Amino acid sequence: MKAKLTLNKSNIIAQIDDRLYGSFIEHLGRAVYGGIYQPGQKTADDMGFRKDVLDLVRKLNVPIVRYPGGNFVSGYNWEDGTGPKEKRPRKLELAWSTIETNQVGIDEFQEWAKRADTDIMMAVNLGTRGADEARQLVEYCNLDTDTYYADLRRKNGFEKPFGIKLWCLGNEMDGPWQICHLTAQEYARKACEAAKVMKWTDPSIELVACGSSHKDMPTFGEWERTVLRECYENIDYISLHNYYGNRNDDTPGYLAQAVNMDAFIRTVADICDEIKAEKKSDKTVNLSFDEWNVWFHSNEQDKQIPRWSIAPHQLEDIYNFEDALVVGSLLITLINHSDRVKIACLAQLVNVIAPIMTNDDGCWLQTIFYPFMHASVYGRGKAVSIDIACDTYDTEELKKVPYVTAAATENEAGEITVFAVNRSLEDSAKIEGNGFDGMKLISHTVLNCDDMKAVNSYEDPEHIVPAELPVADKVVLPAHSWNVLRYTKA
Ligand code: AHR
C-alpha cells in the first residue's frame, strides 16, 4: 500500500497544551493502595509511596493527574482523607462496593504529585455534596488566609497552600450509575452555583463542567447545551469521557475507533460554539477529554469481586498489542484536535485500566505504556497539520476508514515528530512524504507484533517493546504498527 503524507508546516493547528498528556488516579481497586502507596513495600519511601511507581510515572512525563475520582468522588467526604491517619474513618464506598480506609487523601496525594513532578486536577463531590463543601476544599487547598479551612490545613502540617489550579465540577453526573445522579437542569444549576463560590474563593482556578459520560448517552447533546447555557460564564472547559473496546473481536472495526473519538470531539466543540453564538459571548469554552482509554477486558471478572473488599484487583485490564494501536490512534486524534482539546487524561495510571502494573515485588509495563510515553515525551510544542492520502476500508459501523492515521508535532528546536498508525492487518505502507524538505529523518521507532493479542506480564515484561528500525530513504510503516518518526533540520 502507498500512503502520501503531506506536512503543512505553515499550517499550525495549535500550541499543544501540555495537559493533553494527563492521567488519572481514582480511589478504586489497587490504584492508590498497592499502586502508588504501599508502606512496607521494598521501594516505599518515608511516606509509603512506591518509588518504583514514581520512577515510571516520571518516565511517562505526566503533567497533570486527575484525583480522587471518577465515580468515587460522588460519595466522598474530602475531610476523611486529612489529619492524623489513626483518626481517619473506614467507610463504605458505594461507587465500587468496597471499603475505603482513607489512609491516603489530599494531604498525602499533593505530596505524591510533587514527588511525581506532576500537578493535580482535583474533582469535587457534586453527588452527595455541593457548593459548600466544594468551596471549603478550595480554601483548604489554596488559601493563605487566617480562616477555618486554611488553618485546618496548617494544623495538619501544611503551612503552604497546595496551589491546585484545575478543578472538576463533579464526575459523570449524567450517568444513572453515579451516586446522586442528576438531570441536566439539576446538574447545571448545582454546577453553576458551585463554580461561582469556588471561583469567589480562589479566582485563579479553572473549572471543568461535566459533559456526557460517553458519546452514546441518550442525553448526549442536550446535556451539553443545558449545562453550557447555565454555566457558560463560570466555567472554562466541558468534559468528554469515552472508553473503547473490542467486545465482538472485530479487529479492523476496533482499530477504527479513533474515528468515533474524532466525531465526538467535533460535535462537542460545535455545541460549545453554538452556545457561544447564542450568548453572543467573546469567551470560548474548550474541551477536557478527562477520561479516555480502552476498557473492556476486565468487565466479566469484576463481577466476581466480593462486596466490601479493600483495594481488590478491580478494572485490571491486561492490554494486548492491538489495544496499544488503538491507544496510539486515539492519541493521534487528540493531537490533531489540540486547538480545542486542552486537557486529556488517560484513565487511569496505575493498576486500574493502566499502563503501569504492580505486584508486591515490582512493576511491569503494559503495551499501552509505549504509545502514551512516546506522545507525552515527543508530542509537545506545536501540532502541525498533516494530510494523508491512502487506501480506506469499511467496517460494520464506519465507511472509508483510512488505513493510515497520523499527527505531527514541532518542538522548540524545530524538530518534527510524526506519529502514525498503520491499521492494515496485511499490508505495510510505503510513505511518500511531501513538505519534509530541509528535514532529515533521524529515527524510526516502531511497536509491532505478529500476534495482535500478545500481552506483557510480570513474568514476561518485554514481550512487546518498541524497536528502532534502520533509518532508510524510503519510510515503510509495517502492517499493524505504531510508528514514531523523528526529523531534525538537515
Ligand atoms: O475510570 C473508571 C470509571 O469510568 C470512572 O470512575 C468513571 O468516571 C467512569 O465511568
pLDDT in tens, 61-71: 999 999 999 99
Protein residue whose Cα sits closest to atom 7 of ligand 1: 70
Mutation probe of ligand 1 site: the residue of 26, 213, 317 with most atoms within 8 A of C-beta = 26
85, 103 Cβ separation under 8 angstroms: yes
- The residue contributing the CA closest to ligand 1 atom 9 is 70
Is the model's pLDDT at 160 over the cut of 90? yes
What is residue 473's predicted lDDT score, i.e. its pLDDT?
Answer: 82
Residue 349: per-residue pLDDT: 98
Looking at residue 489, its amino acid is K
From 66, 241, 289, the mutation candidate for ligand 1 (largest count of ligand atoms within 8 A of CB) is 241
20-24 mean pLDDT: 98
How high is the pLDDT of residue 129?
Answer: 98
Q: How far from 300 is each of 70, 97, 105, 297, 304, CA to CA, in Å? A: 20, 16, 30, 8, 8
- CB of 291 closer than 6 angstroms to any ligand 1 atom: yes
CA-based nearest residue to 71, from 182, 184, 211, 172: 172
Q: How far apart are the CA of 71 and the centre of ligand 1, in A?
A: 6
d(CA 414, CA 270): 32
Q: Which ligand 1 atom sits closest to the C-alpha of 213?
A: 10
Query: How far apart are the C-alpha atoms of 441 and 162, rounded to whole Å?
Result: 43
Number of residues written out for the chain: 490
Q: Are 333 and 383 in contact (CB under 8 A)?
A: no
81 close to ligand 1 (CB < 6 Angstrom):
no
User: Is residue 70 lining ligand 1, measured as CB closer than 6 Å?
Assistant: yes
Q: Which atom of ligand 1 is nearest to the CA of 95?
A: 6
3-state secondary structure the chain: CEEEEEEEEEEEEEECCHHHHEEECCCCCCCCECCCECCCCCCECCCCEEHHHHHHHHHHCCCEEEECCCHHHHHCCHHHHCCCHHHCCCEEECCCCEEECCCCCHHHHHHHHHHCCCEEEEEECCCCCCHHHHHHHHHHHHCCCCCHHHHHHHHCCCCCCCCCCEEEECCCCCCCCCCCCCCHHHHHHHHHHHHHHHHHHCCCCEEEECCCCCCCCCCCCHHHHHHHHHHHHHCCEEEEEEEECCCCCCHHHHHCCHHHHHHHHHHHHHHHHHHHHHHCCCCCCEEEEEEEEECCCCHHHHCCCCCCECCCCCCCCCCEHHHHHHHHHHHHHHHHCCCCEEEEEECCCECCCCCEEECCCCEEECCCHHHHHHHHHHCCCEEEEEEEEECEECCCCCCCEECEEEEEEECCCCCEEEEEEECCCCCCEEEEEECCCCEEEEEEEEEECCCCCCECCCCCCCCCCCEEECCCCCEEECCCEEEEEEEEEC
- Please compute Rg for the chain using Cα positions: 22
Give bridge partners of residue 50 from the DSSP assignment.
Answer: 44
C-beta of residue 478 within 8 angstroms of C-beta of residue 472: no
What atom in ligand 1 is closest to the CA of residue 243?
4
Residue with cell 463542567: 209
Is residue 407 predicted with pLDDT exceeding 90? yes
pLDDT (tens digit per residue) in 280-330: 999 999 999 999 999 999 999 999 999 999 999 999 999 999 999 999 999
Whole-angstrom Cα distance, residue 171 to residue 137? Answer: 16
Cross-strand pairs, 484: 419, 445
Share of the chain above pLDDT 70, in %: 100
Confidence of residue 141 (pLDDT cuts 50, 70, 90): very high
Q: In which band, very low, low, confident or very high, does the pLDDT at 78 lie, cut at 50, 70 and 90? A: very high
Phi and psi torsions of 338, nearest 5°: -70, -5
The mean pLDDT value for 362-389 works out to 98
The residue contributing the CA closest to ligand 1 atom 6 is 70
Joined grid coordinates for residue 165: 489550579
pLDDT digits (tens, 9 = 90+) for 273-294: 999 999 999 999 999 999 999 9
Cell triple for residue 187?
A: 446538574
For residue 238, what pLDDT is reported?
Answer: 98
pLDDT band at residue 185 using 50, 70 and 90 as cut-offs: very high
Could you confirm whether 222 is annotated as catalytic? Answer: no
Phi, psi at residue 291, to the nearest 5°?
-150, 115
Q: Is the CB of 26 under 6 A from ligand 1?
A: yes
432 has catalytic annotation: no
Specify the residue with its C-alpha closest to ligand 1, atom 5.
70
> What mean pLDDT value characterizes the chain?
97
How confident is the model over 377-390, as a mean pLDDT?
Answer: 97
Which residues does 49 contact at the CB level (< 8 Å), separation at least 6? 36, 37, 111, 112, 115
Backbone dihedral region for residue 396 (phi beyond 0: left; psi -120 to 50: alpha; all else: beta): alpha
Atom number, ligand 1, closest to the C-alpha of residue 26: 6
Ligand 1 proximity of 172 Cβ (cutoff 6 Å): yes
458 pLDDT higher than 90: yes
Cell of 457: 506480564
CA-closest residue to ligand 1 atom 1: 347
Among 226, 238, 222, CA closest to 168: 238
Catalytic pick among 133, 139, 172, 230: 172
- The pLDDT, as a whole number, for residue 266 is 98
CA-to-CA distance for 165 and 366, rounded, in angstroms? 31
Residues 17 and 129: their CA atoms lie apart, in Å, by 31
On the question of a cis peptide bond just before residue 48, with omega within 30 degrees of 0, the verdict is no
- Model pLDDT, residue 490: 87
What is the Cα–Cα distance from 431 to 272, expressed in whole angstroms? 37
Q: Tell me: pLDDT of 472 over 90.
A: no
- Read off the pLDDT of each residue in 24-32 and give the average, rounded to a whole number: 98
Q: Which of 483, 362, 359 is nearest to 433 (CA)?
A: 483
Q: What is the pLDDT of residue 312?
A: 98
Q: pLDDT category, 216, cuts 50, 70, 90?
A: very high
pTM (two decimals): 0.98
Closest atom of ligand 1 to 171 CA is: 8
Residue 348 in contact with ligand 1 by CB distance below 6 A: yes
Block residue for cell numbers 466522598:
76
Distance between CA 20 and CA 22 in Å, rounded? 6
Q: Which three cell numbers stand for residue 451?
A: 500476534
Whole-number Cα distances in Å, 37 to 27, 49, 289, 360: 11, 4, 26, 11
